[in-house]
Amino acid sequence: MSRIALFPGSFDPFTNGHLDIVQRGLGLFDEVVVAIGTNSSKQRYLPVEQMLAILNNLFQDEPRVSVRTFTGLTAEFARETGARYLLRGLRNSPDFEYEKPIAFGNQHVNPGLETVFLLTSPALASVSSTIIRDIHRFGGNVDAFLPFALPPKA
């Protein structure tokens, strides 16, 4: 039975830090499903359709990675995709404190679903979607943080 990991997130935008987690996840799992959550109450910076197209293009030569969007509970979506693992990245202790109750909640909804945390690669520890949005919003160059070219905001 193949080991499928769901890597859920807002990915607004998907960064080099996220890419690193996917690549390292491929060393642990047979398949990684990048799942762009669309149920957030937060207003997105990049439309989900744009992020989906960018990621489909980014992973077009990696058959072990697929990209999906989802609404609703992550743990239910994991069941739907056949994933028995959730993949998440940790940069620091606030990330850990944020992730802990989410992992407990997911385990409650889908018993047996294991959340696997990978510590960020040190060089990518400061890469954050929030900072990238702030720089990009005001016309700054964010190429160093992204695995794709992001056109200036219209």
For ligand ADP, the binding residues (CB under 6 A) are 9-11, 15, 17-18, 21, 88-89, 91, 95, 120, 124, 127-129
Q: Is 84 annotated in the active site?
A: no
Active site residue 40: no
91 is catalytic: yes
What letters, b where the CB count within 10 A reaches 16 and e where it falls short, cover 86-106? bbbbbbeeebeeebeeebeeb
Is residue 57 within 8 Å of residue 125, measured between CB atoms?
Answer: no
Toward ligand ADP, which CB reaches closer, 4 or 36?
A: 36
Residue type, 81: T
Nearer to ligand ADP, 79 or 91 (CB): 91
Catalytic site includes residue 24: no
Rounded to a whole number of angstroms, the minimum distance from the CB of residue 95 to ligand ADP is 5
In this complex, which beta carbon is closest to ligand ADP, that of residue 1 or of residue 35? 35
Min dist. Cβ of residue 124 to ligand ADP (A): 4
Residues 16, 146 contacting (CB under 8 angstroms): yes
Placement of tokens 């990049």 in the chain = 46
Give bridge partners of residue 118 from the DSSP assignment: 89
| 3-state SS assignment for residue 88 | strand
Please list the active-site residues.
18, 42, 91, 129
